Structure 1
Amino acid sequence: MWSPDVLRFLAVLLLALGLSPAPAMADVFRVGEFTLQRGSDPGTYELTASVPNVLASNDALGLPTGCAETDRERFVEAVVVRYAIRFTCQGGFPPEAQIVTPWGVDGGTFTSALGGAMVKMPLQSDGDRLLLPLADTAPQARPLPEVARYYTVEGVVHILGGWDHLCFVLCLCLLARGRFLLALVTTFTLGHSLSLALAFFDVIHVPVPPVEAVIALSIAFMAREAIMTRQNGGEIDPAQRRRQLAVVAGFGLLHGLGFATVLRELGVAPGERASGLLFFNAGVELGQLLFVSAVLGVMAVAGIFDRSEPVRRAALYFAGIVGCFWAIERVAGFSLGIA
């Protein structure tokens, strides 16, 4: 039987999950895809936009002076909403002309055919909006410090907003201590760094929905591993350590495939592929270290009050339950063709 402390703590964690505004699909990054092209009649244009459904709204676009929206269609497709927005403009665009989008995405890609050829470029959020350039859509080279800052921040934001990755790291923190914890975290890092690079440069191609489902299962597996280890006295023999390192390395490869999906969605410019990958991965590692430090700090405080074991068990049961829930949800989603 679980102790009253474990039950109370687990109830609080489940309540927090239920009240959280985050979507059930934990590894969601708020990115958008935008395409602008000329209409069939002179002075007409069509913007297609794809945004996460949690951000969808029918608020008006911010169009340049002399432009007016004429028609809008909205299509709901599982976790995204697609818009087809048509507008007209009198005369040409001034050099600084932009469309202000009303959706608070973190970034995305913008493809424009206004100049004849299709030009694709990455977008960065400006507060709670994106600005789509109209006059000059050629991607501009950015200095390395700006590239480093942008992709590092995006990496930190993604790992700290990716509940499934954090739950897995939480299980590692509660499975081992000291040097072996360092070895586990390092192995996980090497695994997801390798697969992130291979997937981003299209060396390997793996369907996203099954990967996301197995990532969820990895949480449940590591939660059980941590619980069973402590039930067996907390001692880990060398053979068991080697097995756990191999398992964590394999799961790290899967988590890296999830990171690669996000990096692609950010619309990395061709000239920034190597540097973008490097600094995005650095941001992921920085965010991971911050989370590990926070977990160890909480456990240290719990130890002061002689509550480290109830907190540990409650957190592991919570992670295991959430991992199973996400696995079922994701398998059901892609088997029904809605994920």
Structure 2
Amino acid sequence: MSGSSSNMLHRALLILLLFVGFAAPAQADVFRVGDFSIQPGIDPGSFELSASIPSVLASDKSLGLPEGCRETSREKLTETVMTRYSIGIGCDRALEVDDAIVTPWAVDGGTFLSTAMGARVQQALQPDGETLSLPIGETAARTRALPEVAVEYTWQGIVHILGGWDHLAFVLCLCLLARGRFLLALVTTFTIGHSLSLALAFFDIIKVPVPPVEAVIALSITFMAREAIRAREDDMTDPGKRRRQLAVVAGFGLLHGLGFATVLRELGVAPQERLSGLLFFNGGVELGQLIFVACVLAVMKLAGIFDRDQWVRQAALYSAGIVGCFWLIERVAGFTLGMA
């Protein structure tokens, strides 16, 4: 292949990377959680179900109702990102403990508040494939064994980090900024930072508005991409520059942890599972982060075999920086317009 053809191929691949990057912003940090509640209606045997789900999942499919129950009414209100349903249900018999409503919306998790049986029952629920079952016949939240809690929240942590494009973009910049022990130090510092702020925010020790945090997370991607692009080989051995980079990563780690805390709250963690849920969710985030780091290093190793590692590195960093700028503008515009 001639030099001009090779350059054209490189430019085409770079444009493709940028296009993919620009296609992703709307999906940044996606975690699709539903909020459900049911209460007795005015008439005997009647109930009112309220459901709030992400609009991308909205559909008018029927609920899976217990035998002897039917829908009597349905109202739907679509907002910018959420769709809210108010559904009337009538039953010809008394509810039993095993009765449940199967919802048709493919959420990643949900919170459920029920007063259908007289007692107030609040709990977090996990989907079974493409559906989520609401245990309307229960009179108390189910107490789960520690292994079940561990598996659920570890998995939720993995799913969140691997589906959180903004967090992954930041970790990508770290992987392309440093190597060896210094990369390990940067990732460890980032982990300590977001683990600390995740715990403080989850237990309401600190409270910070979410929109500005999300905007600064986007800024952190652009900043670290710039740092990595401008980095030189001798920077990795300069103690002063290393300390500065560690301090910057620690600060951004604290901000990313606040974003993780928002997701953990949305899952509606049961009071008796707050500590264990926090620990295992954070462990899942770290496990997912390590999986991503391993994948990035493997790709760079493969690119090095074909003598394309520097080109791949530059293309990835410029893409991350541009997408970070786009997310920053998008998020600042979002909460600025919301305040107007």
Normalised to the residue count of structure 1, the TM-score between the two structures is 0.94
| Matched length | 333
Aligned-partner Cα distance in 2 for 1:211–1:46: 36
Aligned-partner Cα distance in 2 for 1:28–1:146: 24
Q: Does 1:286 align with 2:293?
A: no
Return structure 1 stretches of 4+ with deviation > 6 angstroms: none
Deviations along 1:149-169, one digit per CA (max 9) or x if unpaired, are: 111111111100100000000
Aligned-partner Cα distance in 1 for 2:236–2:107: 46
Q: Which residue in 2 is equivalent to 1:206?
A: 208
- Mark the CA change 1:325 to 1:18 in structure 2 (over 3 Å): closer, same or farther: closer
Contact 2:21 2:320 in 1 (8 A): no
Q: Match for 1:13: what amino acid?
A: L
Aligned-partner Cα distance in 1 for 2:25–2:326: 13
The percent of aligned pairs where both chains have the same amino acid is: 68
- Mark the CA change 1:223 to 1:60 in structure 2 (over 3 Å): closer, same or farther: same
> SS at the partner of 1:51?
strand
Q: Which residue in 2 is equivalent to 1:15?
A: 19
Q: Match for 1:253: what amino acid?
A: L
Contact 2:120 2:139 in 1 (8 A): no
Aligned-partner Cα distance in 1 for 2:34–2:130: 13
Aligned-partner Cα distance in 2 for 1:106–1:23: 19
Q: Which residue in 1 is equivalent to 2:262?
A: 261
Deviations along 1:113-154, one digit per CA (max 9) or x if unpaired, are: 123343211101111110001211411111111111111111
Per the TM alignment, residue 18 of structure 1 is displaced from its structure 2 partner at its CA by: 5.6
Q: Which residue in 1 is equivalent to 2:39?
A: 37
> SS at the partner of 1:70?
strand
Per the TM alignment, residue 10 of structure 1 is displaced from its structure 2 partner at its CA by: 2.1
- Mark the CA change 1:149 to 1:45 in structure 2 (over 3 Å): closer, same or farther: same
Aligned-partner Cα distance in 1 for 2:41–2:236: 69
> Map of 1:1-339 to 2, 5 A cutoff?
4=8, 6-17=10-21, 24-230=26-232, 235=236, 237-337=238-338
> SS at the partner of 1:54?
helix
Aligned-partner Cα distance in 2 for 1:86–1:337: 32
Aligned-partner Cα distance in 1 for 2:243–2:22: 37
Contact 1:31 1:265 in 2 (8 A): yes
Per the TM alignment, residue 258 of structure 1 is displaced from its structure 2 partner at its CA by: 0.6
Aligned-partner Cα distance in 1 for 2:151–2:36: 24
Aligned-partner Cα distance in 1 for 2:224–2:244: 12
Structure 1: unaligned runs, 5 residues or longer: none
Deviations along 1:23-54, one digit per CA (max 9) or x if unpaired, are: 61401201110010111222221111111111
Larger helix share, 1 or 2: 2
> SS at the partner of 1:337?
helix
